[in-house]
Structure 1
Amino acid sequence: MPTAPVILRPGAKRRLLDASPSAAEPWYVNDHTLIRGHDDRWHAFGIWHPEPADPLGEDRFLHASADDLTGAPWTVHDPVLHARGEIGETHVWAPHVIAHDGRYWMFYAGGTADHTAYRMTLATSEDLFTWTPHEPVLFEDGFDARDPMVIRHGQRWYMYYTRTSAPDGGAHQVAVRSSTDLLTWSEPSVAYESTIFGTYGGPTESSFVVRAGQGWILFVCESAEYDRTLAYFSTDPLRFGDSGLLDVDLDEHCAEIVADPAGGGRTWITGGGWDRGGLTIRPLEILPDVREEELV
């Protein structure tokens, strides 16, 4: 029997966290990541900056933590990983954190004056509070290569990120590189290519890949419509196409997919962005499409 496609069923959305210092001083949280630490608390990291939007001035990451994802208050800690002006970084974007080998690994983009050669950067931590940047940077790519997301499949790690088909602009792509040690990465291949050409923005931002039954789903942010995330299904985690577009309305910007084994095994989708008052969250069911099974 062929692999059945999937249905995505989002639930009701609510506020997850507002990290503004006060109502009179609003700050936004853009591209972000959530991870449950060894301290049994959830930790959030993300682009953090006072309103209004200033993407090239985003020079630090929010760090906040809470006991759970279902209503516990969040504690905002000191920001982490400020842009390092001494090495030419002018801003830092889109952290993604995983746990491996007793440490936490944060992958993020380090922006410089050269948009054709953005730096994909790594920092590690033992406790999610103190981070040590890895030297040298992992690799450079353009245009504005950013939004890394890392998963493990088989014996290899895969990093998905946003770029264009040429460093100075072209078709918007989700590129993917592989590694066995999280430090040395292969040359890129193309996991998804849009028909839209450009430099800034584009319809392949904030890529996120998850397992779905016998297949995979790629989530991307459609920046032309700010609060819109698209989802593509494929049986190959290294290749997605427009024919796999799923019929679902996800009005999130910079969406992350979060699994919570301690919370009844539920899966959540989060969102944020400029002028959005922090982060939102809602449940997201990923179900087999039984209508397709009945047609087989």
Structure 2
Amino acid sequence: MTGKNRPDRRLSYAAATVWTCLCVVAACVLALMSTAFADAATRPTIVLVHGAFADQTSWDGVAADLRHDGYRVLTPVNPLRSPSYDAAAVERTVREISGPVVLVGHSYGGAVITNIHDACVVKLVYIAAFAPAAGEPISFAIDPLQFPGSRLVPPALALKVVPDPTTRIGVNLDGYIEPSQFKEVFAQDVDDATVATMIAHQRSIAAYTNIEPSGPPSWATTPSWYLVSRQDRVIPPAAERFYATRMHAHTREIDSSHASLVAHPAAVADFIAGAAAAS
């Protein structure tokens, strides 16, 4: 009997060992999942605000990288009507978010996030962006007497009358970049095929956005980051450095055109993720 029982005991021992190992593995997996869920719950939502002469698709590469890193990312429509009007539109999206928010603005999108004041916004990130002070229009940064070098001037910059239900008369005067000049002015380091897509997605911006005085800046009370584009032909790099210094931003520079988010999406995503994770 004793000899016959030995295999049974060995099988029982083996089964118990396997069961114990499975329990340990399951516990480890659950612990990792719990940590991952907790990390996701405490991570901020990143809201990417596009600028003029573009739409949400300009953020596609950056958004994909950030989502791969585990961030929730939103790319709301920026109406491109005026800093105050557009800030109100984007802020409606922000107010629907539960938890902390990192606001990111490219180009004119920086003027928009500058005019958003919401308690859930914990950080601001500017990507080759306008960052006006109170009472200051965005035209300040491209004034050739202040900061020479912008190529966003006629004939590259053109005007047209467009339907606009936000005005009393139902139309508005908008600016856009002539397609033949788009690459040279906006995205000289982007390949031709991608530039063609950018041109197809170009959205005009109300001329009034250039002259509307900005409201009190959110960067005065919110930790800010600034990524300067050294080869920018829209906002002169000197103006970007001026903005970054004035707001005491954590600053990095990149060898890029104005369209750094398209030309170098991985580097831009890394900069944003670093800001989001900073304590």
TM-score range, shorter chain: under 0.3
State TM-score, norm by structure 2: 0.27
**Larger strand proportion of the pair:** 1
State TM-score, norm by structure 1: 0.26
Higher relative contact order (CA 8 A, sep 6+): 2
**Larger helix proportion of the pair:** 2
